[in-house]
């Protein structure tokens, strides 16, 4: 009997995850947690429903990545404590974004747009690192969700007469995202 530690069956062939895929999944799990935790922080401070709604979506994103980690027998590296990250870069980013969110509700909205901007960029990179249908399906759904979220944050900022300038994706990609309608993102597909 074969161990299920880092193998999955595709058409009766065992295909291991590459180190890049494992690294991407571990990072993405914490990156989705970062989004959720910053939005929970911002909701507690300002009681704006956008933060509550999107934090719930981010929890579903975290769960979908955790499902993949479990499927491949990869230990979950994410802390269960809100605001605590094992990845030092994500810890610094969390600290920076919550400090920004402390300034005002508009700055908290900008922090939200920044998170989604980063997520889209990173998921695009992770997509290039795999050919596995289950990973690609989750990445596609998370990318769709991040695009919906950046559109929502942008609308809220525009209602406050503030323009968000993308920091991670190109202005062209951002413009295309804003001109597109929200997608359903196949939430039923997230349970791989």
Query: What pLDDT digit, counting tens, does each position of 75-119 carry?
Result: 998 999 999 999 999 999 999 999 999 999 999 999 999 999 999
pLDDT for the residue numbered 7: 47
Contact 97, 85 (CB under 8 A): no
Contact 87, 30 (CB under 8 A): yes
pLDDT for the residue numbered 183: 67
Helix (H) or strand (E) holding 10: strand 7-10
Whats the size of the chain, residue-wise?
192
Q: Is the pLDDT of residue 70 over 60?
A: yes
Question: CA-to-CA distance for 143 and 111, rounded, in angstroms?
Answer: 18
**Domain annotation for the chain: domains and CATH numbers:** 16-190 (1.20.1260.10)
Report, as an integer, the average pLDDT of 44-68.
97
Question: Between 185 and 19, whose confidence is greater?
Answer: 19
The residue whose two tokens read 């559109």 is 151
């Amino acid at each position: 009997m074969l161990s299920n530690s880092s193998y999955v069956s595709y058409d009766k062939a065992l295909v291991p995850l590459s180190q890049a895929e494992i690294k991407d999944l571990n990072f993405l799990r914490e990156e989705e947690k970062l989004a959720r935790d910053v939005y929970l922080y911002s909701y507690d401070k300002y009681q704006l429903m956008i933060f509550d709604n999107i934090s719930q979506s981010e929890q579903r994103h975290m769960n979908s990545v955790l499902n993949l980690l479990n499927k491949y027998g990869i230990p979950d590296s994410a802390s269960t404590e809100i605001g605590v990250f094992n990845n030092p870069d994500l810890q610094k980013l969390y600290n920076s974004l919550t400090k920004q969110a402390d300034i005002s509700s508009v700055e908290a909205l900008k922090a939200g747009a920044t998170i989604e901007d980063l997520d889209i960029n990173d998921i695009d990179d992770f997509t290039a690192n795999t050919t596995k249908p289950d990973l690609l399906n989750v990445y596609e759904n998370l990318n769709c969700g991040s695009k919906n979220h950046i559109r929502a944050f942008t609308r809220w900022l525009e209602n406050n007469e503030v323009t968000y300038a993308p920091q991670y994706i190109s202005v062209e990609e951002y413009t295309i995202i804003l001109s597109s309608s929200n997608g359903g993102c196949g939430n039923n597909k997230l349970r791989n």
